[in-house]
Structure 1
Amino acid sequence: MDRSQITLSDRDEPLLLPWPTQGNTGGSLSFEKVTDWRAFIENLAIDARIPEIVRAKYARAQTLYLLGWADFSILKAGELAALIALELALVDRYGGQITKSKRSFAALLKFMVESDGLTDDRIPMIVRCGGTAVGQLIGATRPTLAERRNALAHGDPFDGLPISGLLELVRDLINYSYRQYLAEAASLSPASHPATFNDIGANYGEL
């Protein structure tokens, strides 16, 4: 998605965003210029070799985050879009390995940890900033990512401030879920390793 056509002007006041920073899980970021904000959002892109349908969903989240420069409340819509993109990615990667009757966003997140080897030290944002994220996937930390998604989707009247680092965490989780796919793609030509809507739709349609 080309976001360069979205025109935004500099703000009178900097945009202050709660976001983990190097070695500080409780950090915050300040953006004085829209060019800096745009670069920050673009740098959070998922791997370009991931199937287009997932990249399109995730790009929608990036676009909403970008528009948060003009209206800070739009960031909450961006969070929901990011979690939707994550669920689609997990359905594609793990949906066929979970019994249909037990498949849910929460089950897919837990599968990453319990069956696909995800640990905090394999999440780049956690390695960079410290803290933990796995608890939000398996239910040890509340609210979980699944609970956050549900609250956002059902009009949580107390949604409050943006969730610190959410887009970056989602980026890392999507990239992790596709790591084997990307390794295979690296050894094949693009023409011999296509990713189609039907491939993903076969799993997504069973939810």
Structure 2
Amino acid sequence: MPGHAHIALRDREEPVLLAWPTQGNAGGFIQFQKAADWRAFVERLGIDARIPEIVRAKFTRAQTLYLLGWADFSVLKAGELAALIALELALMDRYGGHISKNKRSFAALLKYMVSADGLTDAQIPMVVRCGGTALGQLTGDTRPTLAERRNALAHGDPFDGLPTGGLLELVRDLINFAYRHYIAEAASLGIAPSAPGRT
């Protein structure tokens, strides 16, 4: 994550245990002993560098908050809100013109990804790697949906609890999917992404 080298993280006495999908286990946990491992984990969750800068900047803000979560775990909830805001911006950019203005909402944009743009679980790298399904969080078949999570976070949900496992990774995958044709076009023009995991 360019520009984050100035954020100093010190090793903690106690490791961080985080609910997060792991290989073959959608309900997994991962543990971090060292600050450098946490930084590398957050950096690897960056969206494709060929995505428009305005979206990358908002997603990078979410990564920054996740990074700071090493020092204060509660900051991850702010990172979740920032990630969902970046996702909404990306979907407005890619699909907003296809939905009538009076029916346009974050929930409608998420459903559009599935119903009109053909998103399946097989196109979500996190789901392929870990199993489970994510589509219900977009279509409304699983509660809370991503739109409901965003609304709860934005309106000061007093019961927001622990971080939602895998949220930043899922948002990353959804943004990359929404821009897949844009990315392919950039690649055809010889525009290569920067180093993996960088935004």
Specify if TM > 0.5: yes
Note the C-alpha offset of 1:125: 0.1
> What does 1:68-147 align with in structure 2 at a 5 Å threshold?
68-147=69-148
2:29 maps to 28
Distance of 2:146 and 2:82 partners within structure 1: 13
Unaligned segments of structure 2, at least 5 residues: 192-199
1:204 maps to none
SS at match of 1:22: coil
Distance of 2:27 and 2:178 partners within structure 1: 26
Map Cα deviations across residues 140-194 of structure 1 (whole Å, 9 max, x no partner). Answer: 000000000000000000000100000000000000000001111111255xxxx
Note the C-alpha offset of 1:8: 1.1
2:66 maps to 65
TM-score when normalising by structure 1: 0.91
1:205 maps to none
1:19 maps to 20
1:5 matches 2:6: yes
1:170 maps to 171
2:50 maps to 49
Unaligned segments of structure 1, at least 5 residues: 191-207
Percentage identity across aligned positions? Answer: 77
Distance of 2:188 and 2:24 partners within structure 1: 35
**CA RMSD between the two structures:** 0.7
Distance of 1:91 and 1:99 partners within structure 2: 12
| Structure 1 runs, 4 residues or longer, greater than 3 Å off | none
Distance of 1:146 and 1:34 partners within structure 2: 32
Note the C-alpha offset of 1:2: 1.3
Distance of 1:174 and 1:88 partners within structure 2: 9
Higher RCO (Cα < 8 Å, 6 or more apart): 2
